[in-house]
Amino acid sequence: MRKPTIDMKIFAERRKKVAAEIAGGALVVASHPEHIRNHDVHYPYRQDSNLFYLTGWEEPESILIYRPGLNPETVMFVRRRDPERETWDGFRYGPEGCEREFGVDKAYPIDEFKKVAPTLLKEVDKVYYRMYKNPEADHIMQDVLESVKAMQGRTGYGLLPIHDADTLLGEHRLVKSEYELTQLREACEISAQAHLAAMRFTRPGVTERQVQGVLAHQFYMRGSAREGYHSIVASGNSATTLHYNFNDQVCKDGDLLLIDAGAEFNYYTGDITRTYPVNGKFTDEQARVYEGVLKVQKQICDFVKPGIVFKELHDMGTSLLTDLMLELGLLSGRKDDLIQALAQKKYYPHGIGHWLGMDVHDAGLYFKKGEPRPIEANMCFTIEPGLYIPYDDTSAPQKYRGIGIRIEDNLRVTSSGSENMTSSAPKEISDLEKVIGH
C-alpha cells in the first residue's frame, strides 16, 4: 500500500492561508492533463503545481473544490480504484484512500463531478478557477456552472463569477515558507552537485548526451524525482542557441560547453547554468568574455535586497551587458541610443531572471496594478546574464565568434541581501579549471 511521503499538515496549512482571501467563494483546481501517449507507451506524469501545492495529490483526472468555512470544506474528486487498470498503470488511492491519507473532508469518484459539484458550488458566491489549463476539466466546469445557475432558478443570480485561481495561488507561492525553502535548497544543492560531476566528467571527445547522463545520474542518486526541465548541454556554437535541446554532438577540444540543468526535489526545482571549456583551460578570448559576464552576474547578485524591484535587475543587466558589448567591440555607438534601439538584444535576447519554485519559471506577478512590485524576503529567483555570439555573425570580431556564455544562480532574498542557494557549483575561472576533467 502506497503512503504519501509528505506530512499532510503542510497542505492543510496552505489551504488555510488562502481561505481568508476567498471568503464566501470556492477554489476549484484541476489536475494537470494526462500526457499524450505514444501508442502504448506512457510518459511520466507530473501533477499540476497548484493542485499539488494545496493537496499533495499526484494522480491525474482529479479536481479539488475548497470551500472555506463550509462543510465539507475540502472536497476531492478522484479516479475510482480499478484492479484491472491498476495492474497495468499502478496503484490508485481511490476516493476512500484519498479521504484516509490526504486529510480531506470528503472524496468522490471523478465521474460524479457533474452531479455533486453543483450542490457544493450553489452555496458559494464566486469561484476561483483557472481556465485553459485542462480542457477536459474546463468542459465539465462549464456544465457545472450552468447547472448551478439552473438550480438558482430566476432568483436574480447569474452565472457564478469566475476569478483567476492562478493569480491568487501565484501570490501565495511567491514568498516561500521555511518548509518550501528546505525543499528548494535541496533541489539547488542536488543541481549544483550534478553540475560539479558534469565538470569533472567533461573532456574532449565526450558527447553532450553522456554529460546529460552524468547530470541525470546525479539527480536520481541524490533523491530527485526528475529533471526540473529538459537539460541543455550545448557545446561550441550550440551554446548560442538559447533553447538548444538536441544534446547529440561531440564536445570538442577548444570549445566551450554551456549546461543549463536543474533537478526537481519534492516539486521544487533548481535552475543552474554554467559555461566552461571542454579541455579545462579558457583561451584568452573565452576568458575575456566569461569574466565580463561573471562580473555582471556578481554585481547584480550583490544588488539584490528587499525593496528593490525586479525591473531594476533587468535594467541593470541590460546596461552592464551593453557596456560589455561595447568593450568587446560587438557594438559601437552611444550606450543609451543602443539600448533605446534594443541593439543589445542581438547578443543578449532574454531577461535577467525569473521567479523560481515549484515551476522553473515560477508563479507570481512581477507587476501589481501596472507598477513593478518590490521584492521581499523569501522570494526566490534566478540571476542569469548571458552573451551569445553566433559563429556566422560577421559583424562580431572574429576571435569572439561561436562563444556563448550564460551564468545562472538561484537566489533567496534575505532580510538585507540574498542567499545564493547554488554556490556549490563553481563559477570562478580558477575554480572551474581545477575541476574540469578531474
Contact pattern from residue 262 through residue 281 relative to ligand GLY, giving x for each residue in contact according to CB under 6 A and a dash for the rest: ---------x----------
Residues in a beta bridge with 273 = 260, 408
| 406 in active site | yes
Contact with Mn ion (CB under 5 A): which of 59, 271, 362, 409? 271
Contact with ligand GLY (CB under 6 A): which of 54, 211, 331, 360? 360
- Residue 260 found at the interface with Mn ion (CB under 5 A): yes
* Helix, strand, coil share of the chain (percent; to 5): 40, 20, 40
C-alpha cell at 128: 476561483
Contact with ligand GLY (CB under 6 A): which of 99, 227, 362, 384? 384
CB neighbours of 302 closer than 8 A, spacing ≥ 6?
A: 417
- State the minimum distance, in angstroms, from the CB of residue 192 to ligand GLY: 15
- Residue tagged active-site, from 354, 359, 409, 433: 354
| 376 in active site | no
- Residue tagged active-site, from 243, 253, 431, 438: 243
- State the minimum distance, in angstroms, from the CB of residue 97 to ligand GLY: 36
Residues in a beta bridge with 194 = none
Under a CB-based contact definition with an 8 Å cutoff, are residues 420 and 297 in contact? no
Cα–Cα distance measured from residue 425 to residue 409, given in angstroms and rounded to the nearest whole number: 9
- Residue 227 found at the interface with ligand GLY (CB under 6 A): no
| 40 in active site | yes
Q: Say which DSSP state 309 is in.
A: B
Q: Say which DSSP state 33 is in.
A: P
| 408 in active site | yes
| 260 in active site | yes
- Residue 54 found at the interface with ligand GLY (CB under 6 A): no
- Residue 260 found at the interface with ligand GLY (CB under 6 A): yes
CA–CA–CA angle 275, 354, 390 (5° rounding): 40
Return the beta strands (E) in 92-231 as ranges.
106-109, 127-128, 162-163, 226-227
φ/ψ region of 156 (left if φ > 0, alpha if ψ in -120 to 50, else beta) reads left
Instruction: Report the site for ligand GLY in 389-428 (rule: CB under 6 A).
Output: 408
Q: Say which DSSP state 320 is in.
A: H
- State the minimum distance, in angstroms, from the CB of residue 125 to Mn ion: 40
User: Which stretches within 329-371 are classed as H helix?
Assistant: 335-340
Beta pairing class for 106-109 and 74-78: parallel
Contact pattern from residue 276 through residue 315 relative to Mn ion, giving x for each residue in contact according to CB under 5 A and a dash for the rest: ----------------------------------------
| 128 in active site | no
- Residue 382 found at the interface with Mn ion (CB under 5 A): yes
- Residue 359 found at the interface with Mn ion (CB under 5 A): no
Q: What phi, psi does 324 have (nearest 5°)? A: -65, -40
C-alpha cell at 352: 535577467
- Residue linked to cell 485542462: 134
| 139 in active site | no
Return the beta strands (E) in 278-430 as ranges.
367-368, 371-372, 380-383, 386-389, 403-406, 409-413, 418-420
- Residue tagged active-site, from 59, 362, 384, 409: 384
- Residue tagged active-site, from 200, 361, 376, 431: 361
End-to-end C-alpha distance for the chain, whole angstroms: 44
With respect to ligand GLY, which residue has the nearer C-beta, 186 or 359? 359
229 binds, among Mn ion, ligand GLY, none (CB under 5 to 8 A by kind): ligand GLY
With respect to Mn ion, which residue has the nearer C-beta, 168 or 432? 432
Catalytic residue list: 40, 243, 260, 271, 350, 354, 361, 384, 388, 406, 408
By CB under 6 A, name the binding residues for ligand GLY.
229, 260, 271, 354, 360, 384, 408
By CB under 5 A, name the binding residues for Mn ion.
260, 271, 273, 382, 408
